Amino acid sequence: MTRKVGIIGLGNVGAAVAHHFVSTGSIDELVLIDTRQEKVAADALDFEDAMANLPFHTTITINDYAALENADLIISALGNIALQDNQNDDRFAELPYSKKEVEQVAKQIKASGFAGILIVITNPVDAITELYQKRTGLPQERVIGTGTLLDSARMKRAVAKALALDPRSVIGFNLGEHGNSQFTAWSTVRIGGQTLIDYLAEQGRQLDLDALDHEAKVGGHTVFHGKKYTNYGVATAAVMLAMTVLNDAHTILPVSHYMKNYDTYLSYPAVVGKNGIVASLSLDLTNEELEKLAQSAAFIRQHTSKF
């Protein structure tokens, strides 16, 4: 069965996602869309040059929204991360730019007849995911943001480094906004099946959880200030989410999806499959964590109430 994916926005993130698909042969058809005609044409040619040295073939189409009609999924990677510079590292600094671009892109996605899954990387991702859903008219469960999938990975990296472990040995979630109001839900963090607190007690160790939470929250800012963009971490999160959909894997991921009880899109663990969000989990959070989640939801709603 042919797998077809569209990527809108061929900046540092979109190009990294496209490179993964081409280099791994995980999809058959790739539609690349960007307002910079020379850039997207050059990327397509570069990928075609790479194929001569790959054991896979990917058919590439550029700047054709009509080609998205039968795509399995679309990934929105448009954005302008430079707007975050000198803006207190707030992803909502990108909202005016992203909103204007998405209004136009969503119209063309809708006109194409696309009925697959829409994955959103574009920042501020929770608000933009909601905007895409409202403008495309796609069912809420079929429009998903990468959300705190990346922030949770940053938390795992920080905790694992502190404990001299592989980050894949750390299980747990960052919740809420993919932004400054997010938080690490420490009640969800497990090491080898034990709660983090029990693991630390058994090992006779102590960790500064506030410092680790902060490190996870500002990890993206650290990368940004080092090279003026971020790409590999978020591109990998987007690919993981995309492959979860394409494989109908029913994997539990902390992604941005619509939560009725908070009346907004925000990140919370959900089962993801070929039809998008299959089910949202019900975590046994502490009262403090529930309060932080409600505050984060309220912050997002402040920006989306007029969409």
pLDDT tens-digit series, residues 198-255: 999 999 999 999 999 999 888 877 887 788 888 999 999 999 999 999 999 999 999 9
Residue 87 has pLDDT above 70, yes or no: no
Class of 4-145 per CATH?
alpha beta
H/E stretch holding 8 reads strand 4-8
Tell whether 10 is in a known binding site.
yes
State yes or no: 123 annotated in a binding site. yes
Give residue 228's region: left, alpha or beta (phi > 0; psi -120 to 50): left
User: Which segments of the chain belong to CATH 3.90.110.10?
Assistant: 149-304
From the CA atom positions of the chain, what is the Rg in Å? 19
* 178 is an active site residue: yes
Q: Tell whether residue 11 is among the known ligand binding residues.
A: yes
| pLDDT for residue 89 is more than 70 | no
Q: Where in the chain is the domain with CATH 3.40.50.720?
A: 4-145
Q: Is 13 annotated as a binding residue?
A: yes
Number of continuous H segments (helices) and E segments (strands) in the chain: 9, 12
Whether residue 124 has a cis bond before it, omega within 30° of 0: yes
What average pLDDT does the structure give for the chain? 95
Whole-model pTM over 0.75: yes
Range 149-304 classified under CATH 3.90.110.10:
yes
Give, in order, the Cα–Cα distances in Å from 239 to each of 75, 165, 183, 244. Answer: 9, 24, 23, 8
Of 93, 70, 96, 66, the residue nearest 82 (C-alpha): 93
Q: Which among 19, 57, 178, 221 is annotated as catalytic?
A: 178
* Residue 82, pLDDT above cutoff 80: no
Q: Is position 85 annotated in a ligand binding site?
A: no
Q: Is 263 annotated as a binding residue?
A: no
Residue 176 DSSP code: B
> Residue 132's pLDDT band (boundaries 50, 70, 90)?
very high
Helices (H), 84-148: 95-112, 125-136
Residue pair 109/74 in contact (Cβ under 8 Å)? The answer is yes
